[in-house]
A and B are shown apart, each in its own frame.
Chain A
Amino acid sequence: MSTQSLRWWSWIHKWSSLVCTVFMLLLCLTGLPLIYHHEIGHLLGNDVEAPALAADMASNPPRANLDAVIASAKTLYPNKIMMYMSQELDEPAIWNVTLGDHPNDEHYKPIAVDARTGKVITEPAFEGGAFMSTMLRLHVDMFAGLPGMLFLGFMGLLLIVAIISGVVLYAPFMRKLDFGTVRHERSARLKWLDMHNLLGIVTLVWALVVGATGVVNTLADVLLKVWQATEIAAMIEPYKDAKPLVTMAPVDAAVQTAMAAEPGMQVGFIAFPGTPFATPHHYGVYMHGDQAFTSRLYKPVLIDAGNGTITDRRELPWYLTALLVSQPLHFGDYGGGWMQFLWAVLDVATIIVLGSGLYLWIKRGRKAKAGVKEEKAAAGLQPVLARSGDQA
C-alpha cells in the first residue's frame, strides 16, 4: 500500500470512528441488557406466565373467543380502544393486548389475557419495567423519536465505514506479525494496538452484520410509511369514500376467516382499525409460519371491519421482508441460550475495540503534544491514528 493511500485510509478510519464511537459505546452498553431482556424480566418479576389449568382442561385446553378476550381486557380500561393483540409462537396460552386512547397512542396499556379462559392474567410492566424501558429507548432512538432513530442509523453507517477501513488497515499493521499476536511486554499503547487489531478482526463479520441490520432497523418507521402510502393505499382504494365505521364486525369471526384463507399459518398479531398496520376500515390480521425461518415472514390479510369479509391479502414487499429477516440477526434471539451468551461476549469484545480505539487516539494526541516519538523504530508499527499525525 502506498504511503498516500495509507494516509487516506487512516483518515477515513480515524474520523468515521471518532464520530460514531460515543454512540456505539452507548448502543453496546444498552444492548447488553437487551440481549437478556427475557431473563432480566424474569428476575425482576416482570414476565408473564399463564396460570396452570385444572387437570381436566389441561389435556385439551379450550380456546377463548377473541371478542371475549378483548372484552376482558377492556374491563380494565373501558374508555380505551383496541390497538393490537399478538401471540408468541412459544406461548399460545397468552394474548398480549394493547389498549390506547387513540390508534397511535405511545403510552398504550399492555394487558396479558389467558387465551384459553379469556380471563385477564395481569397488566405487565410497560416495556419490561423502568430499567429495561430506559435501555430500550436509549438504544432505539435516545428518547428523540424518528430523528433520533435515523441519527443512530447514520452513526451505524459510519461504523460500517470504520469497520471496512479498519480491515484495509489491518494488512499493513499485521504483515510482519503472526495472527493473534499481542505484544504485552513492550508498552501499553502497543499492547492495546494489538488488542484492537485482534478483537477487531475476530468480531469483524459479526459487527458488520449486527451493524448493518441495526441500520436497517432504524428505517422501520420509514419503510412502514412507504408501504402504507403504496400497497395499503392500493388495497383500500375502494374505501376512499367510505363513511367512518359505526359498528365493528366480530374479531373472532374475522380471524377465523383469515385463518381459513391461509391454511397452515398462525396468527402473529391483529392490528385494529386506525393503527399503522391496518386501515381506518380494516382489521389487519398478520399471519406467519411456525418454522424457524417462516415464523419471521408475515402475510397480511386485510379484513373489512364493517362486514368481516376479506378485502385483500398479499405478500409483504421485499423491503419489509428484509426488515423482518434483519431483526433476529440484530437481536441474536433466534439460536437459544448459547447464542445469547456469544452475542453478549461479542458485544463486550466490541466495547473493547471501541475503547481501545479511543485510547489509541487519545495517547496519540498526548504524545504528539509532548513531542515524544518513542517506538518509531519498532518496525514502523505505529498506531494507525498516530501515523498520519507523525508524518504530517
Chain B
Amino acid sequence: MSSPFMKLWGMPILLGILTLAGLLSALFGDGVWDALSAVTLGVPVLVGAWCSLRRKPG
C-alpha cells in the first residue's frame, strides 16, 4: 500500500471491486446473496458519506 500507485488508486480499486461484487451477488441469488450485496454495495456509500461529511480539526 505504500507505493505511489497504490496510495492513489488502492482505495478506488477496492471500492470498485466491492461495488461490482454487490451488483453481481444479488443477481445470482436471493436471501444471503442479497445481504452480501447490501454490505458490499453499502461500503462505498458509507465511505463516500463519511469523507463528505467529516470535518478535520483545524
Residues on A facing B (Cβ under 8 Å) = 170-171, 174-175, 178-182, 184-185, 195, 198-199, 201-206, 209, 291-293, 325, 328-329, 334-336, 338-339, 342, 345-346, 349
Given contacts A170-B12, A171-B8, contact A292 B28 (CB under 8 A): yes
13 A-B pairs whose Cβ atoms sit less than 8 Å apart in the complex: A170-B12, A180-B47, A182-B52, A195-B52, A201-B12, A203-B48, A206-B23, A209-B23, A293-B29, A328-B27, A329-B27, A335-B41, A342-B45
Which label, helix, strand, loop or mixed, suits the secondary structure of the A interface? helix
| Closest 9 A/B residue pairs (Cβ) | A335-B26, A180-B51, A338-B38, A202-B48, A205-B19, A179-B11, A205-B16, A335-B37, A336-B34
In the assembled complex, the Cα of A161 lies from the Cα of B27 at a distance in Å of 26
Given contacts A180-B51, A293-B28, contact A346 B38 (CB under 8 A): no
Closest-by-CB residue of B relative to A352 is B52
Contact B44 A339, beta carbon cutoff 8 Å: no
Which label, helix, strand, loop or mixed, suits the secondary structure of the B interface? helix
Contact A339 B48, beta carbon cutoff 8 Å: no
Distance (Å) between the CB of A167 and the closest chain B CB? 8
* B residues 18-58 in Cβ contact with A at 8 Å: 19-20, 22-23, 26-30, 33-35, 37-38, 41-42, 44-45, 47-52, 54-56, 58
Q: Which of B16, B38, B42 contacts A336 (CB 8 A)?
A: B38
Contact B52 A199, beta carbon cutoff 8 Å: yes
Closest-by-CB residue of A relative to B5 is A171
Contact B8 A338, beta carbon cutoff 8 Å: no
Distance (Å) between the CB of A168 and the closest chain B CB? 12
In the assembled complex, the Cα of A328 lies from the Cα of B15 at a distance in Å of 21
Distance (Å) between the CB of A200 and the closest chain B CB? 10
- A181 neighbours in B (Cβ, 8 Å): 51
Distance (Å) between the CB of B16 and the closest chain A CB? 4
Q: Which of A185, A203, A205, A325 has the most CB of B within 10 A?
A: A205
Given contacts A205-B16, A336-B38, A342-B42, contact A292 B47 (CB under 8 A): no
In the assembled complex, the Cα of A204 lies from the Cα of B16 at a distance in Å of 7
Closest-by-CB residue of A relative to B9 is A171
